[in-house]
Structure formats: structure tokens, C-alpha cells
Structure 1
Amino acid sequence: MTSSHRLSRRHLIGASAAVGAASALGLPAAARAAGTAAAPGGVVPIDWARLGSYGANDAAGRRVKAILAGSARYLIGPWYAGTYRSYLPDGYIDLRGTDERAIRLPAMAAVAATTALVTGVYDPRTLSAANATIRTRNLIRTIAARHLANNTNPATRWGNTWQSALWAYYTALAGWLFWDELDDRERGHLAAMTAWEADRLTTGNDVYLIGTSGEQLYEKRRDGTAVTPGDSKAEEDNWSAAVLSLAEAMMPGHPRAPVWARRNVELLLAAAACPADLTGGETINGIELSTWLRGTNIADDGTLDNHHILHPLYMVAFDQSLYEGFVYGLAGRAAPRAALHNITRVYSALVDLPFQAPDGTMKTIYQPRSGEIYYPEGNDWGTHFPFYFGNFDLLVSLTAQDTGIDPAAASWERHHNEEQLAMMARFDDGRTYGASGENTYYGREHRIGAMAGQAFLTLHLARKDKLRFT
């Protein structure tokens, strides 16, 4: 990303004075002062010049670019305008709560918007880049300020919950990408939030996610006994690993960075653990699987269950593990090899594993030569999720985890992402979904945006030969 593709903080903040209230929710004058410290909390900013520019002129790049541009335009445009209408007395926008809707959704929107803005993908046809920057900064600075590491008000603070590590990851990623647009206080809030959530996860061991009781790392124990029947812990493990990886990549000189790095590897390996790992002799990133692992989350055939069904949507949730490639790549480093553990096994199950359908025929989850998905035991989230799969296809292809699988992941990416673009083409504002039954998750548009941002960054790093695992 050359300087010509990046936003100038001086230009954008200066331009905001001329922005009308009808087109953007501008920053209060008291909140505009820019700090001068380069790295509060020990954060090392991204060296954009080292990463180079990526025009997304290849076929996959054009598809993902279009998905990101549309999603970011919708989220920071109509969705933001309809959600945030005023400031609170302390100068922050009103998040209207502390639950998943209030925190995760704007954090995912911020990932989409920051990625689009800093890479030059942003589409300004309905909202200028200057106004989009003001809105995006509002999301980042408010969410970080409301985290309990920075906020003593029990009515407005969030954190220390089942999913808060993921919310912190999204917010921190957006903030790191937007570092030049934040002032010193905002940067400090981001660093404190990220370190706090990462530290919380280092209290666990080889059985428990946090502490020595409560949520566990595995669905099944070593002997096969179900701890959480029908509910794999793979997704929780790898979204928790995400904030650890980001904390260590952003703050490599932090005194706790080595502990974050170790716990990140542990959670990645636990997330993808299968019965074969318990008796094999493999050592990954210094951890001998057969001795450290206390249980499993996926089957040897690569499938997993969630919500008491074999659930393909949770199989592709290993996208969060593969995103570590771009996270460490932004810091100029290789991601841990643990992020790739058993990905080929899972992907093979999507492409090649046959299941008996109700009509007696045998079907694979990926339907031949199409973007259709077969759900062997149904799908309780809705009917249309092409980008969930197209995103995973892209990541698998870029990390070469489809070796020996035919057709290759790149061909599936085209099928699934062309279907995603067809869904988006139904609307003028960049959104993906219409009828609620297509995807019943209340953050469905935000999930598309967050995936698109992270997929595009992975693609950028891969095309510049800076996506490495070791």
C-alpha cells in the first residue's frame, strides 16, 4: 500500500470542518486533538511502505474487492447513519448497550471500513472517504474507551465475557489499521483493552480456556466422553487465540508477549484437535500433541458438530485460525504453524466426504460445479452463506492447505464468491441479505464485512509473498 493509497489524517480531520451534519456524524471539537506519541502501550505501527501496493487485478482479488467495497459502503453508510444519531455528554457515540449487538457489530463494521479505507478499496459514491473516516474513528474510539480496562462505569463497560476476546480482536485490528487516524489517548485505550483481554486468556491451562474451571478447551475428553455434547469448542478456542495473536503482533516488546504467543499456539492446537492427534508423534511449535492435548474438537474425518448437528458453518469457522497469517504478516513476521493444524483434514471433509441424503443418494457438502452447499443434518442459521465458504476457500488456497484435494480450493472460491456477488447485486447499497430467513444472525451484514476485510488483507499479503507460517 503506497502512500497514495493511504488516507492522510491531517487531510481528513481538516476536511471534517466543512462536512455538514446531515452527511456525517462529526467529532466534537474537544475530541479532535491528535496525540504525538508513536506507540502507546508498546504498539508497533504497521509499516505500510514495506507491504507495497496491491491492485486486486487478479480474478479472486476482483471478487473479494467488490465484496469488501460493497459491504463497507453499506455498513459505514446506511447502517451507521441509522444506528448512531448523537453523542453522549462525554463525547462518545451511544453504543446503546454492552452486549453482542452493541459491541461486536460495530467492531466488525469497523474492520470492514478501515480495511477498505486504508487499501483504497473504499467506494465513496454515497459517502466521502473523509466522512467515512470520521464515522469509523467514532466506532473504534468509543468501543475501546468503553472496555473495562478503560472504563469504571458498570452501566457502559464491557469485557471479561464469553465472547469479549473476539470483540476486542475486531476493535484492536481496526484500530491498528487506523493507527494514523487516532490520537494518543485513543491509542492507549486500544492497547490497554487488547492486553487486558489477552492476559485473561493466559490464566487457563491444557483443559480450561480461562482459569481452572468453567469453559473447557474441548468438546470431548481423551477417552471420548463428551464434556459439551453436540457443541465443539473449536470456534471459541480459535477466536480466543485471535486476540492473543494480535496482541503479540501489535506489541512484540510487551513483557507478556511471550506468554501470549505460547497461549495462542495452545488454543490453535486445541481448536483443531482430533483423536488421531492423541496417539501420534507430532510436535508443532514446541508442543507435543499426544502429551499436551487433553481432548478433541473435530473428528478424524474432519467434521465437527455444533448446535447438536454436523455443522458445515462451524467447519469454516477455522477461517479465524488462518487469519493469523495476515495478522503476523502485517507485523513483518511469520504466523505459527499451529494455525494450519488439521485445516487440510477439515477442508477435505467439505469437498470429498460423502453423506447419505434422505433420498438415498450420496452427497458431498460442496456440490459439484456449483456454489450450492449441502447440509447433511440441516442448518439452523438460515439458507444462504456463500461468502462464509468462499472466504474459507480463499484462505485455504492462499495457505496451500488443499494439497491432494480435487477440485482445488481456488475453483470453489470462484463458485461461492460469484454467488455472493449475485446476492449483493440485488441491492443498491452494498448489502448482502434480504429476507431474514437467508441468514438469521442479527449481525449478518457485519459478519460479511469483517470476513471481507480479513480476506482482502490475507490476499494482499499473499500476493506480496508476505504470508508465512513457521
Structure 2
Amino acid sequence: MKASARHIAALAALGILSGASTLALAPRALAEAGHPDRAATVRPSNTRLEWQVGRQDDGGPPPVRFVYGLDTDVAVWGDWDNNGSKTPGVFRAGRWLLRNSLSAGNADVEVSYGRAGDVPVVGDWDGDGRVGIGVVRGRLWYLRETVTAGPERQFGYGTVGDLPVTGDWNGDGTDTPGVFRAGDWFLRNSTTAGDAEATFRYGRAGDIPVVGDWDGDGRVGVGVVRDHTWFLRHDVLGGTHHLSFPYGDGRAYPVYGPPRVLGPIPPAPAVTPIVWGRFPHPAPADSDAQLIANILRNANRYAGRTWWSSAGFAAQTTPYLTFNGTGELNIRGPANQAFALAVSLRTGAYNASHAGVSAAEARQRAVRLAVSLAARHQVNAVSGWGSHWQSALWTARAGFAAWLLWEDLPAADRENVARMVAAEANRFIGYSVPYYRDRSGAIVSPGDTKAEENAWNAMVLQVAVAMMPNHPNARTWNSKNVELMISAFSRPSDVGNSTVVNGRAVSDWLKGSNANEDGVLINHGFAHPDYSTTVAQNAHAALTSSMAGQATPRAAFWGAETIYDALVDKVWVPGTTYPPRGMVLQPGGTCYVDDSPRLYYPQGNDWGTDRYIQPTLLDVQAQAFGFDRLASQKGLYWQRLHGQGVLNQQARSTDGRTYQTATEDTYAGREELVAVTAAEAYLTKWIVAQNAWRTSNDPV
């Protein structure tokens, strides 16, 4: 029986089915009826693979656990002896080592097929009721009709990078290939090359596709596993998921999914906790510090009364929060709020009555955010977040938050945090630092300064060095940290500058520049003052170093005076041109506007023109760390203006939010950004009050 045109059209209208759609829906012989596939996972454990085979549709503990294979093997799952029960196996560089029972022991069957790097696949390729094996190599499929010897089929299907899946898509008794591509399924009805005979969307990028008979009706179903929650539907084409349940943990991988090498969990590096006895002085009580504290308290109020629930966290009961994805808008906001709460709680700025959440509950939330972010990182979780062009920034926030709350973290979570920070820091060993201009002055990244990117990449190295000063890679991390910081706000003349900073001449550190000679930064294709405020990301080194009892590298402030002075004192003349965009807009003058919190944007701003919190942090740090010298030491004057502007914005709403509409700040994570920025500003004030800050020009 073929799917009716009406049925297919209905599925297409629902967005479930698209493209070619000739899947036959003939019922399969129900030889396996009443025996649904059970959730089953494999995870690395002490150099071995631990298998956990569970119930059909709940998140209860697995009734069967055993160890089989090495953590460098690829797990496979199939009915090797054709007795109606699936059992474990491993693929080891072309050798198949298969068990016929759910238990530890030696292989019952061993066969050679494929080679190292192949992806093993399993299915009944000829419909004879016996399982066969195969491998996928790039986009080439090689299938053998039995577990041992037998006829071989070869064909191409999918593209490199697809996740291979196999199943009896049309119920004819024969398993055929398919691929999963960022939420889209492309399925064939024969073991031959050709176009997909059905496509549909179920899941999203980062999900792990799974295939099985979930209800025991003899028909194959599909599903995805996301953050160890299984979303399953009982057939290939119909509807959304029929059931969902949590099963496994962050390092567990579903055996029904595309096989992969899990590899050992890296050992957790040793972390040196913050010695809080180094900070004996009271929190700053002057009016300027209280202005910043009040901004932070309002941000805490918004986090407690609105954000926690609107983000979906209040309804989650699992030990680790689910962030519903691995991208910027999933991870950065929670990391920012974790840091903001941690700073507020540890410095005494937190006000429970104002926030509407007790300090104990706020601390519990901050810890839960931090440990969940660590548990969901790819070094600790299959298909986790990380290794993203911006993930160094997210890791810096999450790792610093966890470090501030270290004594509240269970031992396993401390290990997750340490692995997360070390893994992201290690990404920059041997990293080639990018630039807006090369050493000759030629623009190599048109319209796109690398200042902010280099500064935030340095941030994770600062956190790593502060938390793990005895790590074998600590010196390498710190050297790359210094290189990134010097590069971030370097000017064309700096490539010839002989000034020695942290052991080397500036000219030796640099391979180009990221700011114009006058201190202006170009991003998004025009002069963009918002990116000048990211000098604060370099100054972040003073916060991590001070909390660790270390000296801040002088490199943290390289170029900061010039960049800050360009905001304060550079006069823009309307009608003149400034490359690359050209015309300078009315009314002209300086970017910092006397007696006003508002900034003048000489060539416009695509982020909105009511962003006062970013200059507030820069002003606080310019005054605290002394890089407002060229700007007539007016950092305190400007922080009062800009900070009061933020407080005035927050006073408009009962829940402490800063922005009324997205037009004031178009960034989707704007409130979380206010929270983390205010936290950095207050932590700066607090560190200065503790007399905990010092600099060093020693070699790194």
C-alpha cells in the first residue's frame, strides 16, 4: 500500500515531509510485534565501554548494566545470531567483535570488514531475516549481507559530514540507507545510489538521530536524542514525537544512533581555589560603587523574577539544566547570568528582598547554571556545545562563575568545569591570531576588526591560568593570552614598536593591527564605537589575576589609553568622510557626549543607540586601572553619567529589566549582557577596595 497523495500532502503542509515522498507504507510482517526496542546507551568508563540497557519509555534506572569493549572502540548493536534480541558489539579498526548476550565477556563472533576510520552500519540488506554488516567511508557505502562472508554491495549516498542511519523505511522487510543532516532526514528504499525517496524534518542540528521499533508493532520508528532526552515517534512519516523521556547522561551515547568513537574522558586538571582570606576589606560603600551595585541588583531582580522562568529553567527538575541547543543564544545568556549571580553573591552586593529570591536560592541557581553548562560542554557530553568561534567567551563566563562558587560544587562537577576550561584553552595552543590589517598595513579582513574576537578569546586563557596555574600548559596559555591581548587593540604603528611588553618587543608579538591609528575601530563596515568598549574584555585579565593572587600582565592594557581617548576626545566633523563607509553623520562632536549618558555614533549603530552599560564598564575600568590618563582622567565623570543612564533605564520597569523594546538594543541576549557587564564593573570596584590589584611586565 502506497501513501495516499492526500496523506503526503497533509504531512508536507505540516512541515513533516518535504521533497521526494514515495515511501511505501506497507505493513511489515509482525514477527517482532510485542518486543519494542529499549533505550540503550554506551559511555566511556575507565578505558572501557559501559553499556546500559533500559526500559522502553521512561527515565528509570537501566535494569541491565555491563562493560564490553574499549573506550576507543565504536559501539554497534544488532541481532547477531538472529534470535530476535539485539546485543552489543564493537568495531575496532576494521574488526567486528560481537556478543550474543547482554553481558560482559569475550566476543562470540569476530569478523574483519572495513578499516580504521570507517563508520560501521548494521541492517538486513536483502530481506532474508538475517542481519548484515557494513561500513560507510565518506559518502561510499559497503554492505555485506551476513555477519561473516557473503555478497557485497557498494554505492554512494549522502554527502561527507552526514550521519548515516539505516532502517526498513517502507515496511518491505529490507533495511536501506538514510542520512541525517542537521534535523533533515533523507531516506532511500533500496541499497543503491540515487536521490532520496523521502525527506522530512524531525529534530535539529546537534541532535543524535535514532532508529528503532519503539512500540513493538513491527514497524520502524525514528527519533532524536537531545541532551540525553529521547524524542521518539512510532513511524517514519507521522506527526511529531509520540513519547519523550530522559535516559542516560551527558557522556552516554544512544546505541541506536550513528556509531562513533567516544574516546576516554580527559582527566580533570587540578584547580587552585580562590583564597578568600586574601580579601579582608569591606565591600566598597562609596556612592560610585553603590551606583554600580544598584545596577547589578536590578539585573539580579530581573534574573530572579522574570528570566529564570521565561528561560524555562523553573520547570526543569533534572540535576542538569537543558539549554535547548548549543548555539550562542542557548549558552551565552545562562553563562552571563551565572557569572552575574556569582559575583553579586560573593561580593555581598546581592539583595534578596530586592531580587525577590533568597540568597540561598540564588546561590543554588547560580551553581546549577554553572555546573549544567560544564556538564553540557562537548568535553563532558556527547554532542555538547563548544569549539565554537565564540565559545571561549561563554566558557570564560561559566568557568569564572563556577570558580567563584567552587566550595559549593560537588567533586564531579568541579572535574567537569576543569575539563571544560582546559579544553577551550587548549584550542588556542598553536592558534594563528587574526587581524584587520597585516604588517604592511593592507586590510585583510575588510570591515571587520578582530579586536573583540581576540579579546574574548584571551578571556578563557585568563580564566585557565588563574584557575590552573600549575597546569602543564599554563605557560603556553599565558603566552597566547598576552599575544591576543596585545593584538586586540594594536595600531598600524605598533608593528614597528620596540616597547618591551611581558618579555618581548611589541613588534615581535604582532603580525598586524586591529585599530586605526587614531584609536577608531572598524566593524560591520563602519566606525563602530561599541567595539571600542570591548577594551574591557582585555581588562578582564585584571579580575582573574587578582582573584588568583597573580599580577596582571601589562599586555592587558596595551592600546587601551588610545582607544578610550578616541571615544572621549576625538571630534567628528559632519559631512566629512571616514573610510570605509564614508560620510560622518550629524550632529558631530565626540562619541562621549558631555553631561549625557547617550553616545554619538558618527556612522550609525546597528545594535541600537541606548546601550549605556558597555561604556559604564569601560569607564569604571579606565578609572580603576588608570588608562583614562589621555582622557584627562575623566573615567569617574563618565561612569557616573553612563551608570546613571542605566539606572534610569531600569527604573522604568518593576522587574529591573533595562530595555523596554528591542529597538533600544537589538541583541537578543541584551538583559543577560547587562547583568554580566554590571557584574564585571562591580567586581572591579570590589577588587580595588581589597587592594588586590597589581600589574607585571615580567616575561610570560
Tell me how far apart the structure 1 counterparts of residues 320 and 326 of structure 2 sit (CA, whole Å). Answer: 14
Asked if structure 2 preserves the Cα contact closer than 8 Å seen for 1:278 and 1:289, the reply is yes
1:101 aligned to 2:329? yes
Match of 2:461 among 244, 254, 260: 244
Match of 2:374 in 1: 144
Match of 1:180 in 2: 407
Tell me how far apart the structure 2 counterparts of residues 291 and 230 of structure 1 sit (CA, whole Å). Answer: 25
**Amino acid in structure 2 at the alignment position of 1:203:** G
Asked if structure 2 preserves the Cα contact closer than 8 Å seen for 1:76 and 1:136, the reply is no
How far the C-alpha of 1:73 sits from its partner, in A, is 2.2
Tell me how far apart the structure 1 counterparts of residues 586 and 398 of structure 2 sit (CA, whole Å). Answer: 47
Tell me how far apart the structure 2 counterparts of residues 183 and 76 of structure 1 sit (CA, whole Å). Answer: 24
Asked if structure 1 preserves the Cα contact closer than 8 Å seen for 2:588 and 2:600, the reply is no
Deviates more, 1:45-54 or 1:446-455: 45-54
Match of 2:654 in 1: 428
**Amino acid in structure 1 at the alignment position of 2:573:** Q
SS at match of 1:364: coil
Q: 1:364 to 1:92 in 2, by over 3 A?
A: same
Q: 1:361 to 1:184 in 2, by over 3 A?
A: closer
Asked if structure 1 preserves the Cα contact closer than 8 Å seen for 2:458 and 2:485, the reply is yes
Match of 1:331 in 2: 548
How far the C-alpha of 1:203 sits from its partner, in A, is 2.2
Percent identity of paired positions between Structure 1 and Structure 2: 36
Match of 1:398 in 2: 624
Deviates more, 1:228-237 or 1:428-437: 428-437
TM-score, length of structure 1 as denominator length: 0.86
Q: 1:426 to 1:258 in 2, by over 3 A?
A: same
For residues 438-457 of structure 1, the aligned pairs below 5 Å read: 438-457=664-683
Match of 2:167 in 1: none
**Amino acid in structure 2 at the alignment position of 1:350:** L
Tell me how far apart the structure 2 counterparts of residues 47 and 313 of structure 1 sit (CA, whole Å). Answer: 35
Q: 1:360 to 1:399 in 2, by over 3 A?
A: same
Instruction: Write 1 or 2 for the structure with the bigger share of helix.
Output: 1
Match of 1:26 in 2: none
Q: Encode CA deviations 1:280-333: one digit per residue, 9 max, x unaligned.
A: 211210122223311110011111111011000000011010121111000111
**Amino acid in structure 1 at the alignment position of 2:637:** S
Instruction: Write 1 or 2 for the structure with the bigger share of strand.
Output: 2
**Amino acid in structure 1 at the alignment position of 2:330:** A
1:340 aligned to 2:340? no
Match of 1:28 in 2: none
Tell me how far apart the structure 1 counterparts of residues 675 and 586 of structure 2 sit (CA, whole Å). Answer: 38
How far the C-alpha of 1:376 sits from its partner, in A, is 0.4
**Amino acid in structure 2 at the alignment position of 1:258:** R
Tell me how far apart the structure 2 counterparts of residues 144 and 77 of structure 1 sit (CA, whole Å). Answer: 25
Q: Encode CA deviations 1:12-60: one digit per residue, 9 max, x unaligned.
A: xxxxxxxxxxxxxxxxxxx9xxxxxxx9621111111211243331122
Asked if structure 2 preserves the Cα contact closer than 8 Å seen for 1:86 and 1:94, the reply is no
Larger radius of gyration: 2
1:273 aligned to 2:490? yes
Tell me how far apart the structure 2 counterparts of residues 429 and 362 of structure 1 sit (CA, whole Å). Answer: 36
Tell me how far apart the structure 2 counterparts of residues 268 and 78 of structure 1 sit (CA, whole Å). Answer: 36
SS at match of 2:475: helix
Tell me how far apart the structure 2 counterparts of residues 347 and 295 of structure 1 sit (CA, whole Å). Answer: 21
Q: Encode CA deviations 1:387-444: one digit per residue, 9 max, x unaligned.
A: 1111100101100111142361110111110111111111121211111100010110
Q: Encode CA deviations 1:200-237: one digit per residue, 9 max, x unaligned.
A: 01121xxx24xxxxxxx201111222211010000010
Match of 1:127 among 350, 357, 360: 357
Tell me how far apart the structure 1 counterparts of residues 511 and 306 of structure 2 sit (CA, whole Å). Answer: 47
Match of 1:159 in 2: 386
Q: Encode CA deviations 1:109-139: one digit per residue, 9 max, x unaligned.
A: 1011111111221121211112112222211
Match of 2:686 in 1: 460
Deviates more, 1:286-295 or 1:305-314: 286-295
Tell me how far apart the structure 2 counterparts of residues 53 and 65 of structure 1 sit (CA, whole Å). Answer: 17
**Amino acid in structure 2 at the alignment position of 1:129:** A
Match of 1:411 in 2: 637
Match of 1:350 among 567, 579, 585: 567
Asked if structure 1 preserves the Cα contact closer than 8 Å seen for 2:617 and 2:680, the reply is no
SS at match of 1:255: coil
Tell me how far apart the structure 2 counterparts of residues 341 and 275 of structure 1 sit (CA, whole Å). Answer: 13
SS at match of 1:363: coil
Asked if structure 2 preserves the Cα contact closer than 8 Å seen for 1:114 and 1:177, the reply is yes
**Which structure 2 residue ranges, 5 or more long, are not aligned?**
1-248, 250-266, 576-584
For residues 223-238 of structure 1, the aligned pairs below 5 Å read: 223-238=440-455
Match of 1:194 in 2: 421
Q: 1:54 to 1:378 in 2, by over 3 A?
A: farther
Tell me how far apart the structure 2 counterparts of residues 87 and 240 of structure 1 sit (CA, whole Å). Answer: 32
Tell me how far apart the structure 2 counterparts of residues 97 and 399 of structure 1 sit (CA, whole Å). Answer: 38
How far the C-alpha of 1:369 sits from its partner, in A, is 2.2
Match of 1:15 in 2: none
Tell me how far apart the structure 2 counterparts of residues 76 and 86 of structure 1 sit (CA, whole Å). Answer: 14
**Amino acid in structure 1 at the alignment position of 2:604:** G
Match of 1:49 among 277, 283, 302: 277
SS at match of 1:41: coil
Tell me how far apart the structure 2 counterparts of residues 261 and 360 of structure 1 sit (CA, whole Å). Answer: 44
How far the C-alpha of 1:335 sits from its partner, in A, is 0.8
Q: Encode CA deviations 1:57-102: one digit per residue, 9 max, x unaligned.
A: 112201110011111221243201222144476x322211111111
Match of 1:117 in 2: 345
SS at match of 1:442: coil
Higher relative contact order at CA 8 Å, sep ≥6: structure 1 or structure 2? 1
Match of 2:289 among 61, 67, 71: 61
Match of 2:511 among 294, 310, 331: 294
Match of 1:304 among 513, 521, 525: 521
Asked if structure 2 preserves the Cα contact closer than 8 Å seen for 1:76 and 1:109, the reply is no
**Amino acid in structure 2 at the alignment position of 1:107:** A
